[in-house]
Structure formats: structure tokens, C-alpha cells
Amino acid sequence: MDGGSVYLGVFSGMGVFYITTPIYYPNAPPHLGHAYTTVFADVLARYHRLIGDEVFFLTGTDEHGLKLQRVAEREGVSPKEFVDRMAGVYREYWAMLDISYDRFIRTTDPDHERVVVEAVRRLYEKGLIYKAKYSGWYCVDCEKFYSEGEYEVVGGKPYCPIHRKPLEFLEEETYYFRLSVFEDFLRRILSEGGIVYPDQYAREVLGKIDKEGLRDVSIARPRERVWWGIPLPWDRDYTVYVWFDALLNYVTGAGYLSDEERFKKYWGGVHHVIGKDILWFHTAIWFSVLEALEIPPPKKLIVHAFVINRGLKMGKSAGNIVRIEDLVERYHGSDGARYIIARIFNLYRDVEVSNELLDSFYNSELVDTYGNLVRRVGVLAKKKLNGIVENRGLESGLEKKITETIEAYREAMDKYETPQAITAVMDLLREANAYVNKTRPWEKQEPIEELYSLLETIKYATIMLSPITPRAAGRTSQALGFTITNPYETRLGGQEKYIIREAPILFKKIK
């Protein structure tokens, strides 16, 4: 199988930034874990819109399968009624965090169901799907079989290592996808590098292939057991397994089999964002499915580690689930919540956070360093210059610092390191605050150069923070009279004058 390579010339993806989150399993409302991935993806989407790329941002819900079938049964509604309700809940949460997705895809959407049927039929016709018997220990919540060594043993019985509950022994005749034939392809593509980011995760997958090899995977469930899903087109006694159904959302969203022109345009620029827990699915399995369908692998698979939130105590939530509404309440709105998520985000390793740490980021950076400067400069400009600040040149120290910051910011964003991008901007703002204290513009008659230099600094800082704190950016730009434009194409010192409408108070301090 080497069919994918023939398409590479067609899928160029130049100037196109297609970004996806995993589609979430809507058995319960989203929490901090979901917000971590989704806010990060949204920051990247907004950043690429800012720098002029054509962006398509896809998120959604994974709505089929046994677990949802059972949850709906418990609630006494049909699975469709249940997922309709939960898709609405997810949209509400994403609105709460100002997530700017372009499409909210649901695996029950008709265009997606068509893609799944056609994709599974193509693989079957290629001989990549076959029927065989399977028996083993199965976790209903994971919807997956566990082999020996993978499960835990409690009181002599096999237990799910994730859900800590007894596994069920299942024997069933099912259909398999021939994952094993893609071993050479996977080794090649993963060792070449460049797709999985950071590269440590590609090495992790290669290590797993070395150790365990590649086994064929079940691609369907007997309908008598799992009826809530898409039937196999050639054997309606079977339902397509949710993993296959879910992964294909990424191609559906770009127009696969419905708008080939659009698909070719967007697929060349596709960036998947995932947590490291679903790394295997999104590499070994997803890259092989794509290869089997003669579709090139994604341009980037961005993998992140987790936030360990033992130390967080918010609202009434129990255990280690932090509710999004508590986060938004504590940090006075979406900007504050988004800021702390982007500030602690880490691709490489799990980070342990506490209220003290998050509060200090919020208070000392967003409130004291950014918010106070905007307020202070706004008030001074109104009082000293009647709110009209003309360009009489830019102070050279700040000019140099702004230029350096733009470079550092760009470098960080190219590496998807939102905390570094934020830190660079905060350094600039700290320097601006120091400049205010040093030059004491309140003691001067007409501090034109000082205030113009400070307004230019605020403008660039606001533009660079705009993917993270879009509301504050909108408010600041209106209040101080500038527009949010591509920072790499805006001329430093190019604004003729600033007309100040108000001196806004952007953020409320946490006491």
C-alpha cells in the first residue's frame, strides 16, 4: 500500500490552516480536560486568521456506540434524543469560552454517515476487512478489549485499568481491519518525522510497534449488542465500530466525498490537536486508514500532555474534574479562563497546577501588567492630551523591545508554545510599565512621545494577545483607537495618531 503519495502534489495546503479537535464523547458535559484541548485549538485558529491564513476550525461530538446507547437507556430516552440534547450542551460550553469553530460536526450528521458507509465499503472491496471470531476481556466504558498484561487483576478478576471495574468476557464473530499490513508504511512515515509534533510522541509509537507489533483491529460490533451506530453496508447485522466512525469526521469536515475541490484544498493544511491518551489511535490506526483510502496523512498531529488538577478547588465539583463554568466564574469571564489555559498549556509533560498558581498568573500578569497599563495610559492620554496622541516618534528602547517581542512571539507560535508566546508579551508589557515609572509622564505638560510609545506598545501587545483574550483585545482596540491586524505586516510607528475614547478597566482582580 503506497497509494497516498500520488496525491501529495495536489494537497498543497498553502495558506490554508485546517484545525481539528478530537470529537468528544457527549455522555457528560465537557470539563477542564476538554477545554484544555479546545481552547488551545481555538488560539491557533484565531492566530492563523490574524496572520491571514484561510482557516477552517472543526470540533464536534462522537455520538454513536454502546456507552451512549446505555446512558440513553438509563435516562429513558432514545440515543438520538440524548445526543441532540448533549450536542446542544457542548455548544453552550464552547460559547461560554468563545470557541470560534467553523463547523460543529456530529457523527449523526447525514454527510458524515455517508462518508463512513462509503469508506468502510472501499476498504472491504480492497480486501482490507475480513471476518473472524474474537474472544476476550472487554470494558464497556472504554468500548475496547483488553489483552493480558493490559488489564489489572483485582481479587483474581480482570479489571479495566482506566475505569477500575470488572471486565466482561465476550466472544463474538466480527470484522477486522488489516492494520498489520501497514507496519512498514507506519515505520517509514513515523521515522521520517515532521508529522507528529513534538517528535517524542512519534518515537513512543514506534517503540510500541517494536514491542508489540501491529495486530488487526476489530472494525464492527454485532448489531444485537450495539445497534446505535452505522450498519455495515454489506452485512447489516453489524454496526461500524465507533473508533472508525469517529476518526473519519476529520475528512467529512473538509468535504471528503461531498466536495472534492474543497477537500483537496483543506486536507493539505490539516492540523489535528489531540491529548496524548489517544496518540495510538491517531497515528497507527488513523494514518493506516488514510493510507488505505489513498488519502495523505495529516500535515501535523499536535499532541499535548495533561493538566494534573489535584490541587484545584473550584465550586462544588468533586474529584479532579474542574467545571468550565467554575473556571469562567473564577477568572471573570472567557478571557481569564482562556488565558490561564493557554498559560499553563504544555505539549511535553503533565503540569500540576493549583489555585495559587493560576490566580497569580491571572492577577500579576493579566490584571496588573496588562490591564493596569491600558487603564493608566488611557487615563493619562485623556487628562494630559485630551485623548489625542500624535506621532512624534517612538522611544528607541521600546521600539527595539517591540521588534524583539514580535520575533519571540512568532517563534513560539510556530512551535505551538502558547506559554512562551504569552511570556514574551508580558516581558514587553513589564518593560512598558517600567518606562511609565521611569519617565513619569504625569509630571509633564505634554508627554506626547511617551504616551505615543506606550500606545504603540499596548497596540502590539494587544494584537499578539488577541488569539488568547479576544474580548479584551476588541475592547482595548476600540477604546484606544487602533485596529487588530497581522502583526508581521503592520508598520511599527506607522499609526499617525491615537484617539482615545475611554480608559477601560479590562480585568477584575481576584481577591
Q: Which residues bind Zn ion (CB under 5 A)?
A: 139, 141-142, 160, 162-163
Name the minimum Å distance from CB 142 to Zn ion: 3
CA distance 14 to 204: 30
Active-site hit among 31, 64, 265, 384: 31
Q: Which C-beta is closer to Zn ion: that of 142 or that of 170?
A: 142
C-alpha cell at 274: 489531540
Name residue 469's amino acid.
T
Beta carbon nearer to Zn ion, 162 or 492 = 162
Whether 139 sits among the annotated catalytic residues: the reply is yes
- Between CA 191 and CA 447 the distance in angstroms is 59
Q: Would you tell me the crossing angle of helices 32-50 and 79-96 to the nearest 10 degrees? A: 60
Do the strands 152-154 and 157-159 form a parallel or antiparallel pair, or are they unpaired? antiparallel
Q: Write down the least CB distance from residue 139 to Zn ion, Å.
A: 3
Please pick, among 313, 383, 400, 415, the residue that the annotation labels catalytic: 313
Cα distance between residue 270 and residue 298, in whole Å:
6
Residue 156 grid cell? 483474581
Selected catalytic residue, list 133, 211, 316, 511: 316
* 354: region left, alpha or beta (phi > 0 left; psi from -120 to 50 alpha): beta
CB of 139 or CB of 301, closer to Zn ion? 139
Q: How many residues does the chain have?
A: 511
Is 31 marked active-site?
yes
Active site residue 160: yes
Strands (E), 228-290: 231-232, 235-240, 270-275
- Per annotation, catalytic residue among 48, 67, 112, 139: 139
Residue 282 annotated as catalytic: no
Distance, in Å, from the CA atom of 206 to the CA atom of 69, rounded to the nearest integer, reads 35
Residue found by looking up cell 489511535 in the block: 281
In the complex with Zn ion, which residue's Cβ is closer, 168 or 173?
Answer: 168
Dihedral angle of Cα 308, 310, 316, 319, to the nearest 10 degrees: 90
* In the complex, minimum distance from the CB of residue 307 to Zn ion, in angstroms, rounded to a whole number: 21
How far is residue 123's CA from residue 128's CA, in Å, rounded to a whole number? 5
Please, are residues 67 and 228 in contact by the beta-carbon 8 Å criterion?
no
Question: Of 162 and 170, which has the nearer Cβ to Zn ion?
Answer: 162
Q: Which of 48, 64, 144, 160 is catalytic?
A: 160
347, 359, 467, 104: CA torsion to nearest 10: 70
CA–CA separation, 357 and 362 (whole Å) = 9
Helix (H) or strand (E) holding 438, with range, is helix 418-439
DSSP-derived secondary structure for 104-127:
EEETTSHHHHHHHHHHHHHHHHTT
CB of 167 to Zn ion, least distance (A): 8
Cβ distance to Zn ion smaller for residue 131 or 163: 163
Residue type, 59: T
List the beta bridge partners of residue 390: 497
Catalytic residues: 31, 34, 139, 142, 160, 163, 313, 316
